[in-house]
Amino acid sequence: MEESIDILNEENGEIFFEDIKKEIESLKNELNEIEFKLLLSGEVDRNNAIVTIHPGAGGIESQDWAQMLMRMYLKWAEKHGFGVEIVDLQAGDEVGIKGATFTVIGLYAYGYLKAEAGIHRLIRISPFDANKRRHTSFSAVLVYPEIEDNIKIEIRDEDLKIDTFRASGAGGQHVNKVSSAVRLTHIPTGIVVSCQSERSQHRNKEVVMKILKSRLYDISLKEREKKLENIVGDKKNISWGNQIRSYVLQPYRLVKDHRTNIEIGNVDSVLNGEIDIFIKSYLKDLTTLNKKT
């Protein structure tokens, strides 16, 4: 780059100005990417991410918001070239979803998405309210690393309750007529995992066991780091005061992350998956905090 810049001082060197400018911008982006990946040095940051979304109280309002969040993460994954596998998807009463679990597949997927764990709040004029009143909705996003088979997590048979049921929604005659879906409850922790995406009960059981191991590993990891306060568990209230980020569509348009105070006015771009600025700012702050402690 230094040699290229020297060309600018030569006769007619200015014709290379735009090319050199592009090269500098490319180098800058590469360095930023390298710097950011240095932040992702955790034991499981390189792993796939298991994401679960739960709507809060509020019926179709929260269920619609949960589906909007799921779409946001799927768009984000697509932009980054990550694969996605839907593990469990429960349709809402009229619109939206009652819950969803999906795996984001790709290098550093967990390292990125762990920044999204928490309560997300939406403020808007409800499209379902005939009186056009403003509503506030909440949804919880839980993120776990998908763990490798070589990591041992002890799960005793007597600690498990396994239920089978017929899958709902699309899937063909076999999936809908046979009790192939599996719901697994880990009695000591109260963790419930279900999967209905696979055709066979055996395969669905393999998937829920893998997710359960990931969740138990995540808990043990946080306990070992003595940072239980950062876990967004199923029992945390999905309500006012617990949100990590607010998405305001009315009376003004703004997305604000309450942990970093980063604000974005282009709400549509955020809901279409442009969330890297929030993720990177949070992870940089987290790294700084860890160094201080």
CATH number of the structural domain spanning residue 187? 3.30.160.20
Whole-number pLDDT of residue 230: 45
Are 135 and 78 part of one and the same domain? Answer: yes
Q: What is the pLDDT of residues 99-116, one digit of tens each?
A: 999 999 999 999 999 999
Amino acid in position 252: Y
Given a cut of 60, whether residue 227 has pLDDT beyond it is no
Provide CB contacts within 8 A for 253, sequence distance 6+: 265, 266, 267
Higher pLDDT residue, 234 or 224? 224
Same domain, 192 and 239: no
Q: How far is CA 87 from the centre of its chain?
A: 14
At residue 75, φ and ψ (nearest 5 deg) are -65, -45
CATH of the domain at 87: 3.30.70.1660
**Do residues 57 and 184 both lie within one domain?**
no
Task: Please tell me whether residues 139 and 237 are part of one structural domain.
Answer: yes
Spatial separation of the C-alpha atoms in residues 192 and 170, rounded to whole Å? 23
Identity of the residue numbered 7: I
CA distance 158 to 149: 21
Query: Do residue 113 and residue 250 come from a single domain?
Result: yes
Helix (H, G, I), strand (E, B) or coil at 143: strand
**Same domain assignment for residues 87 and 105:** yes
- pLDDT of 41 above 50: yes
Higher pLDDT, 215 or 75: 75
- Peptide bond between residue 127 and the one before it cis (omega within 30 degrees of 0): no
Question: Is 117's pLDDT higher than 80?
Answer: yes
Contact 254, 264 (CB under 8 A): yes
Q: What is the mean pLDDT of residues 241-262?
A: 92
Gap between the Cα atoms of 46 and 84, Å rounded: 16
| Spatial CA neighbour of 88 closest among 207, 189, 244 | 207
Give me Rg for the CA atoms of the chain.
Answer: 22
Helix boundaries (H) for 156-266: 172-177, 201-224
* pLDDT tens track for 176-197: 445 688 888 999 888 888 888 7
* 162 beta partners: 184
Please indicate, yes or no, whether residues 117 and 62 belong to a single structural domain of this protein: yes
Residue at 39 is within a domain: no
Q: State how far Cα 269 lies from the chain centre.
A: 17
How far apart CA 286 and CA 288 sit, in angstroms, is 5
DSSP type of residue 166: -
Q: pLDDT for 252-286, tens place per residue? A: 999 999 999 999 999 999 999 999 999 999 998 88
Residue 36 lies in a domain: no
Q: Which DSSP string corresponds to 124-138?
A: EE-TT-TT--EEEEE
Contact 196, 175 (CB under 8 A): yes
| Number of domains within the chain | 3
Q: Is the pLDDT of residue 128 over 90?
A: no
Domain range for 215 = 157-224
- Cβ(193)–Cβ(133) below 8 Å: no
Is 44 contained in some domain? no
